[in-house]
C-alpha cells in the first residue's frame, strides 16, 4: 500500500482554514488564537503530520544540528561529556553529530570541513593534542558557525570556554602526596601543546614550591595520553638512580599505565610509590589498589558548553564579551596514596 504523506494543505482542508494559518499555528505564532492552535495541533498529531525538516531549516536558516569534536569517545571523560551535550541539545530541540579527532590535527580539520559543508549550526570541541594551530576553527567562526571550547581550550580564539580548574586539582593532588610524607614526587604530564598540560604542570610546581621541595626536570616526563605512554614513562622514572617515591599522572589512561608498570616492576603502592592521577572515579576504583583521583564534572562541562553554544546560535547579536567558566575538580583519596607518615 502506498504511504500517504500528510501535508499542511490536507490539515487546512479538513479544518477549512488557510495553509498560512496552519503554518503559523504550528510555529506558535501570536497572530493565531489559542483555540485555532489547539485544533491544528490536535489534528496534526492525529494524522501523524511531521514538518519537512529541510523546509524548516531554510525558513529558520538553521538545521537544528550541532557538531561535537572530541579526541576519543572511548575515553570515559569524553563519553560522559557527550552525554551532557546531548542532554541539553535534546531539551532545546537540537540533534548532535559526533566526530573523533584521535588526537590528529588532520582528522580535526577534516571534521571541521564536513561541519561547514553540512551547514551545522555550531560546534563544541575539545582540541586535539596536535592542534597548536586552530585556524580551521577560526574559519568556521568567520563563516558564522559559532564554536565553543571545553576541557582543552585555546587562548588564540575569542569564544566561550568551559574547563575544569586543572591548576587547583594538580596543586591539591601534589600537596596531598607531600602531606603523606612523599619527597620525590614525579609527574607524568600530557603533550606540551595541550592547555590542560600547562595548567596541571603549574599546579604541581607551585605545590612543590610551597613546601620548599626542589623541582627536578628529570622527574617530569611528557607522554601521549595513552596507557602505553604512562607505562613507558613509569619505566623510565623507576630506572633513575634517584627514583621517585610518588607519581602524579595527568590523565586516567596515563595513570592506568603508571599503575600497571609499578605492579609489573614489583613496587607496592603506596608503600614504595604513592600514586594520584586525574582519573574517572569508576575506573580508578576497579584497580588494585584503587587509585586516588582528581575527578572532573565531565557531564556538567558538556551541559554548560552546550547551553553557551545554543545561546550563541539563537542570539542575533555577538556577546559583548565571551565567558570562560572554570568548574571545580575534586580530590578523592584512595589506597594508592595512603602512606603511613613517619
pLDDT of the chain, 342 residues: tens digit per residue:
444 567 888 888 888 898 888 878 876 677 888 888 888 888 888 887 766 554 545 445 567 899 999 999 988 899 999 999 999 999 998 999 999 999 999 999 999 999 988 889 999 999 998 888 899 999 999 989 999 999 999 989 999 999 999 999 999 999 999 999 999 999 999 999 899 999 999 999 999 999 999 999 999 999 999 999 999 999 999 999 999 999 999 999 999 999 999 999 999 999 999 999 998 767 777 888 999 999 999 999 999 999 999 999 988 778 889 999 999 999 999 999 988 765
Q: What is the grid cell recorded at 17?
A: 482554514
Domain boundaries along the sequence of the chain: 8-51, 64-164+298-327, 166-296
CA dist 292 and 168 (Å) reads 16
Helix (H, G, I), strand (E, B) or coil at 324: strand
Residue that the C-alpha cell 600547562 belongs to: 198
Q: What is the grid cell recorded at 339?
A: 602512606
> How many residues are given for the chain?
342
Asked: is 166-296 a CATH 3.40.50.360 domain? The reply is no
What dotted CATH number matches 8-51? 1.10.260.40
Q: Which CATH number fits domain 64-164+298-327: 3.40.50.2300, 3.40.50.1820, 3.40.50.300, 3.40.630.30?
A: 3.40.50.2300
| β strands within the chain, DSSP E | 65-70, 95-100, 122-125, 147-150, 161-164, 185-189, 220-222, 246-249, 274-278, 292-295, 324-327, 330-332
Q: In what order do the strands lie in the sheet with 122-125?
A: 95-100, 65-70, 122-125, 147-150, 161-164, 324-327
Q: Is the pTM of this model over 0.85?
A: no
What's the DSSP call for residue 56? Answer: H
| Same fold across 8-51 and 166-296 | no
Residue 138: HSE in the Cβ half-sphere, 13 Å Cα cutoff: 10
Amino acid at each position: 500500500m502506498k504511504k500517504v504523506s500528510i501535508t499542511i494543505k490536507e490539515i487546512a482542508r479538513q479544518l477549512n482554514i488557510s495553509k498560512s494559518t496552519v503554518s503559523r499555528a504550528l510555529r506558535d505564532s501570536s497572530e493565531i488564537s489559542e483555540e485555532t492552535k489547539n485544533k491544528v495541533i490536535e489534528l496534526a498529531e492525529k494524522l501523524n503530520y511531521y514538518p519537512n525538516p529541510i523546509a524548516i531549516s531554510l525558513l529558520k536558516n538553521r538545521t537544528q544540528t550541532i557538531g561535537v569534536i572530541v579526541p576519543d569517545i572511548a575515553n570515559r571523560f569524553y563519553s560522559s561529556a557527550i552525554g551532557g551535550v546531548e542532554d541539553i541539545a535534546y531539551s532545546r530541540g537540537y540533534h548532535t553529530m559526533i566526530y573523533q579527532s584521535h588526537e590528529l590535527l588532520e582528522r580535526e580539520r577534516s571534521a571541521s570541513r564536513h561541519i561547514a559543508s553540512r551547514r551545522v549550526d555550531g560546534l563544541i570541541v575539545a582540541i586535539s593534542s596536535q592542534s597548536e594551530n586552530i585556524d580551521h576553527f577560526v574559519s568556521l567562526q568567520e563563516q558564522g558557525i559559532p564554536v565553543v571550547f571545553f576541557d582543552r581550550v585555546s587562548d588564540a580564539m575569542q569564544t566561550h570556554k568551559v574547563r575544569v580548574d586543572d591548576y587547583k586539582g594538580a596543586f591539591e593532588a601534589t600537596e596531598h602526596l607531600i602531606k603523606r610524607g612523599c619527597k620525590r614526587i614525579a609527574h607524568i604530564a600530557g603533550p606540551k601543546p595541550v592547555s590542560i598540560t600547562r595548567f596541571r604542570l603549574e599546579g604541581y610546581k607551585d605545590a612543590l614550591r610551597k613546601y620548599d621541595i626542589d623541582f627536578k626536570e628529570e622527574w617530569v616526563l611528557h607522554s601521549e595520553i595513552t596507557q602505553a605512554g604512562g607505562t613507558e614513562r613509569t619505566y623510565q622514572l623507576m630506572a633513575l638512580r634517584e627514583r621517585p617515591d610518588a607519581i602524579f599522572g595527568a590523565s586516567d589512561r596515563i595513570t592506568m599505565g603508571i599503575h600497571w608498570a609499578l605492579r609489573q616492576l614489583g613496587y607496592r603502592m603506596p608503600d614504595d610509590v604513592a600514586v594520584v592521577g586525574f582519573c574517572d572515579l569508576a575506573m580508578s576504583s576497579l584497580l588494585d589498589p584503587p587509585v586516588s583521583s582528581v575527578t572532573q564534572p565531565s557531564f556538567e562541562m558538556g551541559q554548560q558548553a552546550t547551553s553557551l553554544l545554543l545561546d550563541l546560535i539563537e542570539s542575533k547579536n555577538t556577546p559583548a564579551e565571551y565567558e570562560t567558566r572554570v568548574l571545580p575538580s575534586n580530590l578523592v583519596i584512595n589506597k594508592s596514596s595512603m602512606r603511613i607518615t613517619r
